[in-house]
Amino acid sequence: MSLPQSDIGLVGLAVMGQNLALNIADHGFRISVYNRTTVTMEKFVAAHPSTPGGLDGQATIEGFVASLKRPRKIIILVKAGAGTDAVIDSLVPHLEEGDIIIDGGNALWTDTIRREKDLKAKGLRFIGSGVSGGEEGARFGPSLMPGGDKAAFEEIRPIWEAIAAKVDDKTGKPLEGATPGHPIVGGVPCTTYIGPNGAGHYVKMVHNGIEYGDMQMICEAFALMKNLLGMSAEECAAVFKTWNTGVLDSFLIEITADILAQKDPVTGKAFVDIVLDTAGQKGTGKWTSTNALDMGVPAPTVAEAVFARYLSAVKEERVNASKLLKGPAVSFTGDKQAMIDAIHDALYCSKICAYAQGFQLMRTAQVDYKWDLPFGEIAKIFRGGCIIRARFLQKITEAYQHNHDLVNLLLDPFFTSELDRCQTNWRKVVAAAATNGVATPTFFSALSYFDAYRTETLPANLLQAQRDFFGAHTYERTDSPRGKFFHLDWPEPGRPQLEV
């Protein structure tokens, strides 16, 4: 007896692929799976003999494609780049017009645009879908950011909405409690159509850039509590646990409290104290920063987070520098709890700025790529499943619901009032960090961004005069309309000034 055909297929059974396949099967969809190493596929299918939808393991590409209902829907979850292209090339000869390929990896959005164009010429449809939430999210509900062919998305929509994380739409809080075979029922799914061509993967890239900033800020808050206030990891864990009940309530704050409370099973010391301080990365934060530079969008806090990881990597240099370069002696004599409260506010304000920079970058990109990004919906789908899920994303959602054309989150009345309420503490923390020599690059950067953005007249007037002096780059005048440029016939350096 022949087996029923599958609703969807998946290529790539590493950790993310396996968990996403199980998530799909848990929601009653039959899924065919293929992996280049057949034994991996066989072990995976054997380990999960009974799921609501069913797993169909296939040993060949031909058999895999033949096992799918038309139009075929195929998810690729392999290492981004050449690996994705190789899988697409292996699939194309076996596909028919109208079939759909879905790239769920961390692809560069320009690669997604290229792939969609190439496949469209072959009569195939392509979706580039950001998938955020890590292993746990893939298994029980990720945030999904699909872009590409709109009609193709409508065909995968029932699956995407079923497997996505769910939130309570009024509070924005994620719905929890899913277990194998028993997914979440109800709630609002954390997925929406982002836009054509590479829009989905672009938004996922910006998500990851914000994630870089968010993680680095939390580390800086920890560094201040540890190095300035002399607190133990366990004491810091208690603070983060408390913070997770207020405006900073988020996945990253929650896991930070858990990490800081963890003991090393080998030594019994605080686990964080035996982890080497060299951070890795997969490049998406760098993509965000590079794109911001290319587009002329100020996103300094995200860039500082990337640079902080680079600086952490030169461990041997830092060890040597610590013996040669001297800074101030750390000395704190004030109210400890007041400083903890101030660090909370500095983290909160810096976080607002990082999100503002990310959304401003998306706002600029949509013009260049002719997208119409649904910012309120994007904030909505970030509320659950993804790594940056946080309570205050509900406020970002509301900000764009009130004003779709909001040019910068800092100008929304809620965030304006929050920054006004907390900035005294923010400045207090940045000053204390500078005075005591505690490196807090994202706190500094975010505050400088805030101060520059709210300044009517910046010293760029002098900078532009310098450019006109040495390179005849021209300048605009305060007493002439914008867009009209002038050049001054400057004297040689050191010569008398021009006569008025």
- Whether the ω angle into residue 71 lies within 30 degrees of 0, i.e. cis, is yes
Which residue out of 73, 166, 211, 418 is catalytically annotated? Answer: 211
Q: Tell how strand 188-189 and strand 166-167 pair up.
A: antiparallel
d(Cα 229, Cα 209) in Å, to the nearest integer? 30
The DSSP bridge partners found for residue 174 are 167
Per-residue tokens: 126 = 């392509």
Question: What SS3 state is found at 172?
Answer: coil
Angle at 366 (CA atoms; ends 361, 367), nearest 5 degrees? 105
Give the residue from 443, 428, 395, 136 showing the smallest Cα distance to 249.
Answer: 395
Per-residue tokens: 410 = 């800092």
Q: Considering only the C-alpha atoms of the chain, give the largest distance between any 2 of them, rounded to a whole number of Å.
A: 98
Per-residue tokens: 14 = 């590493």
Residues whose CB falls within 8 Å of the CB of residue 169, separated by 6 or more in sequence, listed in order: 187, 188
d(Cα 384, Cα 188) in Å, to the nearest integer? 10
Check residue 420 and report its DSSP letter. H
Angle at 179 (CA atoms; ends 176, 185), nearest 5 degrees? 55
d(Cα 168, Cα 186) in Å, to the nearest integer? 9
d(Cα 328, Cα 304) in Å, to the nearest integer? 23
Which residue out of 73, 116, 166, 204 is catalytically annotated? Answer: 204
Question: What SS3 state is found at 60?
Answer: coil
Per-residue tokens: 199 = 């829009």
Angle at 130 (CA atoms; ends 126, 132), nearest 5 degrees? 155
Burial (CB < 10 A; 0-12, 13-18, 19+), residue 262, is middle
Instruction: Establish whether 204 is a catalytic residue.
Output: yes
Q: Is 52 in contact with 181 (CB distance < 8 Å)?
A: yes
Give the residue from 224, 7, 177 showing the smallest Cα distance to 100.
Answer: 7
d(Cα 419, Cα 400) in Å, to the nearest integer? 18
Instruction: Establish whether 211 is a catalytic residue.
Output: yes
Q: Is 394 in contact with 385 (CB distance < 8 Å)?
A: no
d(Cα 91, Cα 68) in Å, to the nearest integer? 13
Q: Is 272 in contact with 259 (CB distance < 8 Å)?
A: yes
Q: Is 335 in contact with 342 (CB distance < 8 Å)?
A: no
Q: Is 115 in contact with 201 (CB distance < 8 Å)?
A: no
The DSSP bridge partners found for residue 486 are 475
Catalytic site positions:
204, 211
